[in-house]
Chain A
Amino acid sequence: EVQLVQSGAEVKKPGESLKISCKGSGYSFTNYWIGWVRQMPGKGLEWMGIIYPLNSDTRYSPSFQGQVSISADRSINTAYLQWNTLKATDTAMYYCASAKAGNYYWDYWGQGTLLTVSS
């Protein structure tokens, strides 16, 4: 069974750093893209960026370029989304999703990680 399991909810203060994770199982992790999606409270879905764990090819949405870092450790089938300096506006639910290389749709999704940034 294919699963993406994300790390738990986080409560952080502005200015702090954070790295959340997304662990894949039940499939060949290196043959799938992993994407990160933001959903702000009461708002729609936004693509943040994608990574191909086999070679770490990473692409960012212009809105998120320089604001976050996406990485992957294929030895433990895990992708990451990282912030160096959190802001209150980063408060949102973050989802990871996977797409098989050569496909253009995201068929498996993590359960989401809720991030709250507040002083």
Chain B
Amino acid sequence: QSALTQPASVSGSPGQSITISCTGTSSDVGAYNYVSWYQQHPGKAPKLLIYDVSNRPSGVSNRFSGSKSGNTASLTISGLLAEDEADYYCSSYTKNAPPYVFGTGTKVTVL
């Protein structure tokens, strides 16, 4: 079971927008609209940001948005803030065990 592919790092200045990609296969990202995104600050547990490709849980800022095209999902952070500096992981339901897979993770740096 291979991890979904994310860029290792993405950076941006405060106020800018950045996009993190998450590339899978026709067995996971491309097969289902069950992509979720998680934010993890150092030493903290992951936090759900986006579910079912583009939905935000209650309490999550509308600066976070998600989308998908084919086998690639994306997370966009608009109006970048210093507090957005963290690691971000995508996850998808998959036809294979267990049946979820994470992305490789992306470190976001706010310049």
Binding site for B on A (CB under 8 A): 35, 37, 44-50, 59-63, 65, 95, 97, 103-107, 109-112
The CA-CA distance from A76 to B102 in the complex, in Å, is 29
Taking CB atoms and an 8 Å cut-off, the chain B residues in 18-74 that contact chain A are 32, 34, 36, 38, 40, 45-48, 51-52, 57
Seen from chain B, the residues whose Cβ lies within 8 Å of a Cβ on chain A are 1, 3, 32, 34, 36, 38, 40, 45-48, 51-52, 57, 87, 89, 91, 93, 96-105
Contact A59 B89 (CB under 8 A): no
Q: Which residue of B lies closest to A103 (CB)?
A: B51
Q: A105-B36, A105-B51, A111-B45 are in contact. Are A46 and B97 (CB under 8 A)?
A: no
**Which residues from chain A contact B45 at a C-beta distance below 8 Å?**
95, 109-112
Query: CB-nearest residue of chain B relative to A61?
Result: B98
